[in-house]
Structure 1
Amino acid sequence: MSAATPSPSPAGSASGDTDILAPPEAAGTRADRFLAEAIGSLSRSRVKALIEAGHGTRDGVPIKDPAEPVRAGALYRLHVPPPVSATPQAQAIPLTILFEDADLIVIDKPAGLVVHPAPGNPDGTLVNALLAHAGDDLPGIGGEKRPGIVHRLDKDTSGVMVAAKTDRAHRALSEAFAARDLDRAYLALVWGLPEPLQGEVSAPIGRHPVDRKRMAVVERGGKPATTRYAVKRGWGTAVSQVECRLLTGRTHQIRVHMAHIGHPLVGDPVYLRRTPAAARTLPAVQREALLAFPRQALHAATLGFRHPVTKQSLSFESPLPADFARLLALLDGNTG
């Protein structure tokens, strides 16, 4: 039986040295896999990176190859350096927090907030806000003091998001999202009335062959993508509120798939290419308000998943943001 000292902290990111005596049954296992499983709080990729950086030894000799086979009876040591400051800087941006503990944080993201720094949006993002919110209490991901983004919402999509605060949580949540082992529903306002009222769109998505800033249904070279939808409300055949659930996670998936079947999202600046014919069936006040809506009418309404550490089932809901709710009120004839 292996012995690991000191034991990793529950948060799974403490720095320092961990000694592990390799038991007979571990012989032949990859060194990085053995160490990751024995420590339990670091991913294999993180252990591999530490070994490659010279932080792993076997009987005092540096491990040269993370894939080298384990030798029974050998004493392995892994050194985890203290987290270094992340490149993004902390910025005090208000957040609506739905849940938080030592491993993760769930927030209600407003429309207009970019998730991660990128060209054109170097700061003022959710990552910057989380760095400021967590401060010194953020153990870090992959040796950096940063939150682990396991899924993203487009800048102008609102709703529930979860971010990891530790390597262990990041690994487990990433696996859950990859396997779709969670419950997630979006609400969208689309032009027209989809037929049938509930169905499944299965069409591969890839970069648009001409406009590389857009995604598109691409039969050759696209990645498999499936979206299930169900009409929740309809206003004649002009506009519908639709619930969408993702069986895959492609960039702009709901926006691309709904446009593909002839029902683009209200306000979508990328995939709504012309005034929909359905708009002509609405009264002028409603038509003008929907056509002037400045963003895609898409909201991540619910998110449910199993806590990566406690295994408790968690479920969160986000009410429609005010601008989205006002559209529905206008469609219902309530202009007050």
Structure 2
Amino acid sequence: MLYGIAATATALLLSALLAELLRAPALRLGILDRRRRWALPLSGGTAVVLATGLVAGLGDRAGFAPLGTGIGRLLAAGAWVGVLGLAADVWRLRWWIPLGGTAVAAALVVPYAETGTAGGVLAVAWIVAVAAAFRGLDHGDGLAGTVGVVTAFGVAACAAAELMEGLAVLMGVTAAALAGFLLHNWHPARAGLGAGGSLFTGFLVASAAVFVRAGQGIGTGVGVLFALTAVVCADAVLVVLARRLSRWPVTRGRPDHLGHRLRRLGLAPRAVTVLIGAGALGGVLVGVAVHTGRVSGSAALWVAAVAAVIVLALARVPVTPVFRPRQRSAEASVQVTGQLRVRNG
């Protein structure tokens, strides 16, 4: 208990410190979110991965909080996914490369002895889908971080109910690291999460949820997994549905996610983050309650129904067809200024 409190506090402070220290190197190397009006360094993802790995890994190695069978491998696989996401941030890799690497990592950590072969394959597909959905949710200040904090704490509660103390500590440390990052990502953001942090977060919480539910009822398990990740699932379904209806390529980005559409309805950036975070909290509470047997599994159907109504309603909100250029490099600004001076001179 005391180690869990100390570990989460350390992860929070370490993540906040690293996100600040890594801002300057990210700016110099050009590791930026190019969809913003200003140069936003993607230092948060590296900070979250390092803080989570160092605190949880050292705790396991020192024997203060042994992660347990398979959980150390899960953490290592998550670090690999984070590195792959960072490579995508730096070199703009094609979309299928990080997803393929995430699928390989998921295939190596799924507990097939409890899930069975068919269930394990479905679990791998679900982990990859959640990781990709978290990456898609990282389109506004505080969104992916807030939802990640809520989801990780929900999975930690489910793990604690199953007496999986190592997994509960890992999820608590992950949530704390994300909270430390949010100190820099709350609107207006000073650091971004990027593919490295968002894929890492999605992979870790989805894989941990699979560990918690492995070997239990499939029907209830599907409901719990969906409720824990209801917001990211709804965002992914909304994007795929809207792009298919408008005949827009699914893999070609445009501002049509949950946050974009809520902004089009007139909500302020911070209000959008709070609203989406509240939605995530509602789903997580239902998921934890179903997992612990406090409510019946049919409660997850209500979460699905609410998510479906929201998706169908927001799908009608118009969006701009493409991302508008939101920042201009220093060289481009100088060139434009020079051209204006020549014309006026």
TM-score range with shorter-chain normalisation? Answer: under 0.3
TM-score w.r.t. length of structure 2: 0.21
Q: Which structure has more RCO (C-alpha within 8 Å, separation ≥ 6)?
A: 2
TM-score w.r.t. length of structure 1: 0.21
As a proportion of its length, which structure holds more helix?
A: 2
Higher Cα radius of gyration: 1
